[in-house]
Structure 1
């Protein structure tokens, strides 16, 4: 494939645009608060779309359409669970977390928030939560690097080793230079590109098949069970798929978007924008896979790549149905999905190292400029570790992404949710909830299983541990309770 090929040209222009946004954000980054939280300046639109884009990785355009293409609508339960979980997160956590982090020493990271919310002088909450973030996000980042490499490898025929560096370099550059504002602004562009790709592609597939009725008839002729939402699924399997939604309460790269909103008043509008975007994107992804069944049944001569790997269904349909220049723009949506999630995870990991280890334990009085440059160095270090892991794409570590989602969801989810809803929660309750949630995920995954996704028992037992240990503990001091009341009043006043 030559460098004058439309796909190459559009991908290169897209990457250059993202890097340019990074340099514009660099000019707006004055201190460390700006670098890791954007100075709490995000409006509703950017808050919503950056939260959505950082959440939805390449899975949205590759994994989900591929699963629907192979197994039909029974694979859509996970999308339903994610929609429910995301809505609950926006509804109960987003606005409250925005005000609580501000009232608790203007906390910039989740470990920062936990430490100040419970006045944890032992700093155990900070250390444990920062370690959880670093371990799980390094795995996440490695999976993002692999996804980017696979995209360049399959689209342009690059050797895997070369594709690895090409895919990672642009993301690393704009995060390194522009920090949180670069990540949020590029996420907004990427989210727009993703929704465009996922709405236009199924429409063109249906038009290529004749009409909606013809497409549905062809799918039914292939296998009527494609329409069966319950095909091959037990009750436990459905609950496990829906359980993915619980993970939202504990994902640091999503929660930090709520913390960065310009004010709590921006959250309701952001929720409406974010949920509309999410429902349309997930619906489009399901439609791509579903109507792809009909298209490749009618065109078996071009079905080879998707028969070999169902996850190629989106990319193959785009390359077949669109002009190469338009296809280049749409396929940039896959790159957007990969880059948006990877960039968010790199930045949260850098924040944990810089704010929660370097500043808290090594250099308490470090200048803002020093912290920004340490943050940049941490982005580079974590990215290089992730690339090192990704050099072996078959590494078992990369199979742990669902494990990492469950780990965050169970370790942080109950703590975040209950900490913004219950004044009586204590430091020991928070620590017990984190430990029980995390340990349950590990034990359940490795020794119990029963076909149930480990986030569900982890979340339930973590929540119970918080309540039990908080009630066994003495009540939080007057200052903690007063801060909680002030934050809750500000939240309620904003929602009258």
Structure 2
């Protein structure tokens, strides 16, 4: 356990006060639902890119991925490579089209609202179904962040895990509740820079003799650590293992908290700059995360303390061992930054689903903008309490919780969103079928194991969802004249804005 150090505690407190100050400042600039849920659509390229990246990576970037690299060696590059490719493709093929179409579709603020208006769904089935899946999978995703926060406070301050999780939850909810999207985006900008800096500083400081010496030392421990084709036991990786790792990249196309950044950017031209920033940031951050795991493996092998009980704590152990308490406090705050930057985004998207997609559409259609914001804030508290309940087990794995939620969003929304942006013939029935098949496949596949069922559930989820969308759309009525006219308008507007 890391000693309870006053300097580290003080550093954490300064960091939390800074984030809360940003939240209060953003609160003063939040006047309506559009401000609270999308920041008034005025994000520049830097906050858009780093907010998307920081909200995407979460605590798993400093805990889950280094822990996986610590246990598996360069096998982790399959996962990192899949995520980097997914980041680039998401910005390339989704960002501009989603921003443009969400404006065309009556300025849709949420993903469920966009899908409902895209297919002129008067029954509200599309919007309600999308909101349901958002709330269900975000409970697991948000709880993963709270688990990461619990491990951080438990390790740094020698707290009881339950108390640590509660404190982490209060930290996240406090400024999300006040500032909404602007608070989330601006704090993400700061936190994204801090995360990437920490992930590069720690392995560089820990390496003696550079990458070549690191490779030689790891080879001496176990040559298989340096192979991307074999596991640490020397057995070749199966095609199921490789495809499962790379397939993480498929999840990007359906993540509501990342897609919200595309809609919130102030112009389509800014999205091109943002894409370059986001891809570079992701590449640097994941390189650092893998190096942390590899360096940590070398350190623990030479350490008299023996191995780690929890691989996901390797970043914290290295920081506390190598750096002065002041620097250690700043670097450990990067974990809190990663946790907060994702959990706040998830809470905000979930609350928007409650306020915009359930309350306004199904309960009170004539609700005022201020009333919707209030319901959204109450939703933040309600959802955080449910996620807190799921996070109470100290044996929970950050990577495990993230993988399930990530697959759920990727399969339920990814194929539906991409085809809705590119395929004019897609209709309402196809969208409903795609979400249902994608979401249900994830839930059922997760319960099975052995043989083909060891394949990461996002792969069959995306495949089956895509097939169902195409088949149902073709075997049911063509889209209405209203839907077709809106798609044509969107295509014209896309060319104009480009």
Shared fold (TM-score, shorter chain, > 0.5): yes
Render the CA deviation track for 1:183-215: whole Å, top value 9, x for unaligned: 111111110100110111111112xx2343322
Distance in 1 between residues matched to 2:17 and 2:399, nearest whole Å: 28
Partner of residue 282, structure 1: 286
Contact 1:139–1:398 (CA under 8 A) maintained in structure 2: no
Shift of 1:2: 8.9
2:372 aligns to what? 371
The aligned runs of 1:319-338 (5 Å cut-off) are 319-338=320-339
Aligned to 1:110: 111
> What are the residue-to-residue correspondences of 1:10-159 with 2, within 5 Å?
10-159=11-160
Map of 2:468 onto structure 1: 465
**Counterpart of 1:308 in 2: which secondary structure?**
coil
For residues 155-174 of structure 1, the aligned pairs below 5 Å read 155-174=156-175
> Where does 1:409-488 land on structure 2 (aligned, <5 Å)?
409-447=410-448, 450=452, 451-488=454-491
Task: Please give the TM-score of this superposition, normalised by the length of structure 2.
Answer: 0.95
- How far residue 269 of structure 1 moved from its aligned partner, in angstroms, is 0.6
Counterpart of 1:228?
Answer: 227
* Alignment CA distance shift 1:50-1:320 (3 Å): same
Change (3 A) 1:396 1:19: closer
CA distance in 2 between counterparts of 1:330 and 1:37 reads 30
Change (3 A) 1:400 1:312: closer
User: Could you list the per-position Cα deviations for residues 298-331 of structure 1 after superposition, in whole angstroms to 9, with x for gaps in the alignment?
Assistant: x422x43x53332222111111221110111111
Report the 3-state secondary structure (helix = DSSP H, G, I; strand = E; otherwise coil) of the residue aligned with 1:171: helix
Task: Quickly say closer, same or farther: Cα 1:453–1:294, change in 2 above 3 A.
Answer: same
The unaligned stretches of length 5 or more in structure 2 are 232-236
| Aligned partners of 2:424 and 2:484 also within 8 Å | yes
Tell me the distance in 2 between the aligned counterparts of 1:392 and 1:312: 16
Partner residue, 1:216: 215
1:198 alignment partner in structure 2: 199
Aligned to 2:264, which of 251, 257, 260? 260
In the alignment, structure 1 segments of 5+ residues that lack a partner are none
Q: CA deviation at 1:5?
A: 1.5
Separation (CA, whole Å) in 2 of partners of 1:308 and 1:381: 33
Alpha-carbon distance in structure 1 between the residues aligned to 2:177 and 2:221: 49
What secondary structure sits across from 1:434 in the alignment?
A: helix
The verdict on how the C-alpha distance between 1:320 and 1:342 changes in structure 2, with shifts beyond 3 A counting, is same
SS in 2 for 1:364: coil
Tell me the TM-score normalised to structure 1 length. 0.95
Contact 2:255 2:409 in 1 (8 A): yes
Contact kept, 8 Å, 1:389 with 1:395, in 2: the verdict is no
Query: What is the distance in 1 between the residues matched to 2:217 and 2:163?
Result: 41
Paired with 1:435 and 1:415, the residues of 2 have a C-alpha distance of 10
Is the 2:3–2:156 Cα contact (8 Å) retained in structure 1? no
Partners of 1:461 and 1:295 in 2: CA distance: 44
**Cα distance change of structure 1 residues 103 and 82 upon mapping to structure 2, 3 Å threshold:** same
Conserved in 1, the CA contact under 8 Å of 2:98 and 2:421?
Answer: yes
1:279-303 CA-to-partner distances (Å, cap 9, x unmatched) read 0000111111122233334x422x4
Counterpart of 1:179 in structure 2 is: 180
Q: Which residue of 1 aligns with 2:383?
A: 382
**Which among 269, 272, 279 is matched to residue 273 of structure 2?**
269
Counterpart Cα distance in 2 of 1:396 and 1:269:
35
Matched position secondary structure for 2:52: helix
| SS of match in other structure, 1:119 | coil
Structure 2 partner of 1:489: 492
Q: Is the 8 A contact 2:147 2:398 kept in 1?
A: no
**2:59–2:398 contact (8 Å) kept in structure 1:** no
Distance 1:413 1:212, change over 3 A: closer
Q: Distance in 1 between matches of 2:393 and 2:67?
A: 23
SS in 2 for 1:420: helix
SS in 2 for 1:107: coil
Say how many residue pairs are matched. 490
Contact 1:61–1:314 (Cα < 8 Å) also in 2: yes
Alignment-derived partner of residue 358 in structure 2: 357
